[in-house]
Amino acid sequence: MNPRYIAETSKTPAQAVTDLEASVKQHGYGVLHTYDLKQTLASKGFDLPNACHILEVCNPKQAAAVLTADMGMNIALPCRISVYQDGGKTLIGMVRPSALLASLSESAELKTIAEQVEKDTIAIIEAAK
């Protein structure tokens, strides 16, 4: 299975971000921070030709369960969902939580949590696209 989950949308990046933020909330998650990489790089003197927004999203219950099981998994949190342009298309994507945690741990408990978070985040993306 591809460790990335990518969905195409006909929306502009700005509209996709707005709709993604709403979808995150509707699914019981929260947006901790949103990065506008195009703007950030421009402020450092570098031109990024395409829009790129990264949203850090979190479900407190799931995050607490992961960290209670293995505090070292803090390096994999929070989940990141990106809205970006590539090849004239607007895309919404993420690294699959199950693939990310599998690369860091063999815990069956963490695998179960990651699979649920993955189902949730895919539903978030699908609802926003």
Kindly indicate the confidence band of residue 7, based on its pLDDT and cuts at 50, 70 and 90: very high
Give me the pLDDT at residue 12, please.
97
The answer, yes or no, to whether residue 99 has pLDDT greater than 90, is yes
Kindly indicate the confidence band of residue 1, based on its pLDDT and cuts at 50, 70 and 90: confident
Non-local CB neighbours of 24 within 8 Å, separated by 6+ positions: 30, 31, 55, 57, 81, 124
Q: Tell me the longest C-alpha to C-alpha distance in the chain.
A: 45
Provide the mean pLDDT of the chain.
Answer: 96
Please name each of the domains of the chain with its CATH number. 4-128 (3.30.310.70)
CA distances from 9 to 2, 25, 55, 77 (A): 19, 19, 17, 26
Give me the pLDDT at residue 39, please.
96
pLDDT tens track for 54-98: 999 999 999 999 999 999 999 999 999 999 999 999 999 999 999
Give me the pLDDT at residue 70, please.
95
Provide, rounded to the nearest whole percent, the portion of the chain with pLDDT above 90: 98
Dist. CA 7–CA 90, nearest whole Å: 9
Dist. CA 96–CA 76, nearest whole Å: 11
Give me the pLDDT at residue 61, please.
95
What are 120's two structure tokens? 């949730």
Q: Is the pTM of this model over 0.85?
A: yes
Q: In angstroms, how far is CA 33 from the centroid of its own chain?
A: 11
